Amino acid sequence: MSNANTKVKEPLFHVVKRIGMPTWQSWLIRIVSVVFALIICGVITVLMTGENPLQVYATIIKGAVGTERRIWSLAQNTAILLCVSLAVTPAFKMKFWNIGAEGQVLIGGLATTWCMLNFGDKLPNWLLIIVLLVVSIVSAALWAVIPAFFKARWNTNETLFTLMMNYIAIQIVSYYVLIHSNPKGSGFIGVINPNTEAGWLPKLFGQQYMINILIVIFLTVFMYIYLKYNKHGYELSVVGESENTARYIGINVKKVIIRTMILSGAICGIAGFLLVSGTDHTITRDTAGGRGFTAIMVSWLAKFNPIYMILTSLLIVFLQRGAGEISTVFNLNQSFSEIITGIIIFFIIGSEFFVNYSIKFREKEGK
Amino acid sequence: MLIAFLQRAVLQGIPLLFGSTGEILTEKSGNLNLGTAGVMYVGGISGVIGSFLYEQSHTDLNAFWAIFIPILCCLFGSLVMGLIYSFLTVTLRANQNVTGLALTTFGVGFGNFFGGSLIKLTKSDVPSITLSRTSLFFNKSLPFASNLGWFGKVFLSYSFLTYVAIAIALIMTFYLNKTRSGLNLKAVGENSATADAAGINVYRYKYFSTCIGSMVAGLGGLYYVMDYASGIWSNDAFGDRGWLAIALVIFAIWRPNMSIIGSILFGGLFIVHNYIPNLSMGDQELFQMLPYVVTIIVLIVISMRKRRENQPPACLGLNYFREDR
């Protein structure tokens, strides 16, 4: 068998693809990676502050869920992030890299703001809220369908297109905020309709954020069913796996791309509506606050499964708020939480390698 | 007026030129590094940390060290960022978009964190670090430039890093089109499997192009702090320039020599609102979206015309695994 003349040195190890790892095992790997990341972050924090590491972790937990108000705020932030993540998921499953969620959320929020300012005192509140919802969904869906149209028609690179659309949306919002700033010249819109609370989502069970959370829970279930048990969801995952297969079995790829992006934009619009009408009652260029980008990571980490996304978005928000608390308590810079988030995401991204691939070491000589 | 406008446009444009040249090199290997914004941040802050420590420890600054230390720190910082990205995407085959965005989160956080910490160290009243002494060395322009009238002002009045940026872009053009290894690199980005079959070490090319690309992009951050902002670092001042650099890559249709002109044009578009009289604050904001609009138009036009040589690298955004089919 072996030919002495062409003896090639076998590398020490090589990488092969794994086929079907049990779910519990893959989740074990992910959890281990998060634990590793937390240890590394703890070490970094200890080096920075010289505090007892246990105290650092205690501070994270206290910062995230320390008081009732914090728990609600955590739930609210998780809900919004989850909503944006749900929005980008169908597009990603189709391998349409919609990184324009930031802009789509802003456009939805802007539409809400526009209606609140213009119809605030003309419509009864229940009607106004329905109008807000519809208008924000429609405008964000229109915003999202522009890159989808060009992708479907001319195969324009959607990653770069949607990325650029973000900044156009940000500038439009800045423009709108400046010309409608209240008081004039301040550069901020301020709280809209502070006295009448027109267009504000009402409190439910005495909790301001209850409706937001309920809407997002509904959307999560909807998206889970849509992706898993609906023909549309099946079609878009076929398009994502292989466009040629999709075309061969008679799926209208262009239609699927445009339809999916309308859905994606519409849910971003809801997120924008929840942010403006349900949370901030105002808009700035930072209203989306990078959630459009974080959502991509949330969705990807959850393997595009809406139910897992609850966990991943909770994890990210938990860490952000916890790390924010660390920076306040230990007198560090607020950006500390971004570093922590970055490190943890690096670890989780890296851990996927061990889920999908395994390393085979060189076998002993003479076999 | 026009001369001043051009000068400002160049000042605005050069950070983008660094960023886009680096990103072009990276993208030519098929790696879409959306972390460029973060890389440029880290490059900037690393240089700032280096020169801060040097300024603090020495009262008399030596011109050579004052320039050399920040550049070295900047290159090192951005190299580490490039290594993180390449390790995750090339070795561990992680999704490039997610990795890039995480890199941006991390890089911007890193920059603002250390920026904020240094500001706290200096105990200054304003939220910024001033490194004007180091910046003076960076800002040295040719002594005879001011004697040459408009020609000197438009072409020769800039600091040395400006010319470095242009030189890098020209060298990169030469490298990509005229050298064997440049052509190999393009082959990796167009079709990694074919390149691998032809005996090109795909992983090595991806690693090298991403890391060198990051280092070039990082210099953009340093240029911004030292030249554009005259040595003043304040958090978030760098803004969206990293994304603008990615936009410029498209505008330049993946050609470094085009991106020289493109960067100055973008710089001009970015500041043109300052030169149009009677603009309200709101209109200024509208003008600031011009670079992005122009980029989208270019993106649409190149996809409609379908000229083979104007397309993005075919494997852009895809990781390579030999055993995949």
- For A7-16, the pLDDT digits (tens) are 566 667 777 7
Residue from the list B93, B286, B296 with its beta carbon closest to the beta carbon of A164: B296
Q: What ranges make up the beta strands (E) of A21-80?
A: none
Question: With contacts defined as CB-CB under 8 Å, which chain B residues touch A297?
Answer: 98, 101-102
CB within 8 Å: B317 and A333: no
What is the DSSP track for B77-102?
HHHHHHHHHHIIIIIS---HHHHHHH
Q: What is the mean pLDDT of residues A242-265?
A: 86
Question: With contacts defined as CB-CB under 8 Å, which chain A residues touch B299?
Answer: 156-157, 160-161, 164
Q: What is the mean pLDDT of residues A102-117?
A: 89
Distance between CA B319 and CA B211 in Å, rounded? Answer: 16
Average pLDDT, chain A: 81
- In a mutagenesis test of the A interface, which of B104, B283, B292, B304 is the best target, namely the one with the most A β-carbons within 10 Å? B292
The answer to whether residue A1 scores a pLDDT higher than 50 is: no
Residues B181 and B308 sit within 8 Å (Cβ to Cβ): no
A-B contacts at Cβ under 8 angstroms? 161
> What ipTM does this complex have?
0.81
The answer to whether residue A192 scores a pLDDT higher than 80 is: no
The answer to whether residue A365 scores a pLDDT higher than 60 is: no
Q: Is A332 on the interface with B (CB under 8 A)?
A: yes
Q: End-to-end CA distance of chain B, in Å?
A: 59
Find residues 338-367 of chain A whose CB sits inside 8 Å of chain B. Answer: 338-339, 341-343, 345-346, 349-350, 352-353, 356-357
Distance between CA B207 and CA A81 in Å, rounded? Answer: 33
The answer to whether residue A367 scores a pLDDT higher than 50 is: no
Q: What is the 3-state secondary structure (H, E, C) of B229-245?
A: CCCEECCCCCCCHHHHH
Question: With contacts defined as CB-CB under 8 Å, which chain B residues touch A341?
Answer: 105-106, 109
pTM: 0.85
Per-residue model confidence (pLDDT) at position A121: 74
- Inter-axis angle of helices B96-122 and A291-301, nearest 10: 130
What would the two tokens of residue A283 be? Answer: 């808009």
Alpha helices in A230-359, H assignment, sequence order: 231-241, 243-248, 253-273, 291-301, 306-329, 336-356
What would the two tokens of residue B289 be? Answer: 């979206």
Domains and CATH numbers, chain B: 2-144+153-310 (1.10.3470)
Least confident of A1-5, A213-217, B194-198: A1-5
Distance between CA B30 and CA B209 in Å, rounded? Answer: 10
Residue A184 banded pLDDT, cuts 50, 70, 90 = low
Residues B231 and B134 sit within 8 Å (Cβ to Cβ): yes
pLDDT, mean of each 10-residue run, chain B (325 residues): 81 89 91 88 89 79 80 92 91 85 88 82 72 73 66 72 89 91 90 87 91 92 83 76 85 86 86 75 77 85 77 79 70
Per-residue model confidence (pLDDT) at position A364: 62
Per-residue model confidence (pLDDT) at position B93: 85
Q: What is the share, in percent, of chain A residues with pLDDT greater than 70?
A: 90
Find residues 203-242 of chain B whose CB sits inside 8 Å of chain A. Answer: 235, 240
Closest-CA residue of B relative to A295 is B98
Residue A186 banded pLDDT, cuts 50, 70, 90 = low
Peptide bond connecting A183 to the previous residue in cis, omega within 30 degrees of 0 = yes
Q: What fold does the segment set A77-329 form as a domain? A: ABC transporter involved in vitamin B12 uptake, BtuC (1.10.3470)
Among A1-5, A317-321, B215-219, the range with the most confident prediction by mean pLDDT is: B215-219
Distance between CA A318 and CA A312 in Å, rounded? Answer: 10
Question: With contacts defined as CB-CB under 8 Å, which chain B residues touch A338?
Answer: 105-106, 108-110, 112-113
Distance between CA B317 and CA A14 in Å, rounded? Answer: 24
Per-residue model confidence (pLDDT) at position B30: 87
Per-residue model confidence (pLDDT) at position A2: 45
Residue A199 banded pLDDT, cuts 50, 70, 90 = low
Domain with CATH 1.10.3470 in chain A: 77-329
